[in-house]
């Protein structure tokens, strides 16, 4: 049997759309492993009774505090998105279902079986280990370190876009005629509305808006990169039709740190989590039985799901 205690951000995100069986596992693990108390060590999974009662299952109450604890680790925006997508009601329903299953498992004394005891103990260790790593990573992710990481990875936040307008023609001859009119001073917007065969942009005078250069095919990207703002490019063969483009504006700017700070912080915390794990392992005094050997390996970057599997062999 496997009881998964962690309620991870990845799990919640998976349930934003659609909701599925993983939510059942999520709640089941919470109720079996997370609520263990010292004075009730033989009957694990007794959740704290905090907040208003949201349901009663066989005379056993489920409280709002449990739902709040599940959601407390997420940002306000993520919680709003989760609630808007129906996730909150799904959590409550799964808590009800899992409470009923939990009661039956306790009646069957499954928690007294040795393999289940081990699974519960490893789940508790996994939760504590992750909480420790997360807490230390949070402390280490200072504003100074976040700024340094942003500066060191600036290329990731550089926009390389171009604002384009398009006139599409069915033949190269027609496209060449349009290009000649534009070179002669014709108004691009008027020409696009009158002659473009692209229904998506025709009514707006050919306006495509900003386009990421990295997503364009070489037949478009190369002449656009070589051109200047205001230039007409083409004709270019695009899947059997012919395009004449106008470079309205080249956009080469960096997204400010303020707009990507949460994203950068997550990256910093991932790195700091890995560093902390390596530090703890290096500082630990480890003695293996005589005759056994271990091969030193550089740990892979910390992954919550993999950490959970490592700490709970039965989940593999």
Tens digits of residue pLDDT in 263-296: 999 999 999 999 999 999 999 999 988 866 555 5
What percentage of the chain exceeds 70 in pLDDT? Answer: 78
Higher-confidence position of 46 and 105? 105
pLDDT > 80? residue 16? no
As a whole number, the mean pLDDT across the chain is: 82
Q: What is the mean pLDDT of residues 227-246?
A: 94
Listed in order, the ranges of the chain carrying CATH 3.10.50.40 are 159-254
pLDDT > 70? residue 40? no
CATH fold label, 159-254:
Chitinase A; domain 3 (3.10.50)
Q: What is the mean pLDDT of residues 247-255?
A: 92
- By C-alpha distance, which of 97, 71, 87, 98 is closest to 14? 87
pLDDT > 90? residue 35? no
Higher-confidence position of 41 and 232? 232
pLDDT > 80? residue 30? no
pLDDT > 90? residue 71? no
How would residue 314 be classed by pLDDT, with cut points 50, 70 and 90? very low
How would residue 54 be classed by pLDDT, with cut points 50, 70 and 90? very high
Region class of 52: left (phi > 0), else alpha (psi between -120 and 50), else beta: beta
For the whole model, what pTM was predicted? 0.59
Query: What pLDDT, on the 0 to 100 scale, is given for residue 135?
Result: 94
């Amino acid at each position: 049997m496997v009881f998964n205690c962690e309620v991870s951000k990845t799990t919640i995100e998976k349930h934003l759309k659609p909701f599925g069986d993983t939510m059942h596992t999520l709640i089941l693990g919470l109720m079996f492993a997370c609520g263990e108390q010292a004075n009730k060590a033989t009957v694990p999974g007794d959740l704290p009774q905090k907040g208003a009662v949201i349901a009663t299952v066989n005379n056993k109450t489920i409280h709002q505090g449990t739902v709040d604890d599940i959601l407390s680790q997420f940002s306000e925006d993520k919680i709003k998105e989760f609630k808007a997508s129906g996730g909150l009601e799904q959590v409550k329903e799964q808590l009800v279902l899992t409470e009923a299953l939990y009661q039956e498992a306790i009646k069957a004394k499954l928690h007294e079986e040795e393999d289940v005891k081990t699974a519960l103990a490893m789940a508790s260790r996994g939760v504590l280990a992750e909480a420790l790593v997360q807490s230390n990573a949070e402390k280490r992710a200072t504003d100074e370190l976040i700024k340094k990481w942003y500066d060191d990875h600036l290329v990731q936040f550089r926009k390389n876009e171009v604002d384009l307008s398009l006139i599409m023609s069915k033949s190269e001859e027609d496209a060449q005629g349009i290009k000649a009119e534009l070179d002669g001073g014709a108004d691009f917007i008027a020409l696009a509305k009158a002659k473009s065969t692209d229904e998506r942009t025709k009514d707006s005078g050919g306006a495509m808006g900003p386009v990421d250069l990295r997503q364009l095919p070489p037949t478009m990207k190369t002449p656009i990169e070589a051109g200047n703002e205001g230039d007409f490019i083409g004709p270019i063969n695009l899947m059997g039709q012919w395009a004449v483009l106008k470079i309205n504006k080249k956009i080469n700017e960096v997204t400010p740190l303020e707009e990507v700070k949460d994203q950068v912080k997550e990256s910093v915390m991932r790195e700091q989590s890995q560093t902390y794990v390596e530090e703890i392992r290096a500082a630990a005094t480890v003695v293996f039985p005589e005759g056994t050997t271990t091969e030193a390996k550089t740990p892979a970057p910390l992954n919550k799901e993999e950490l959970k599997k490592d700490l709970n062999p039965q989940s593999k």
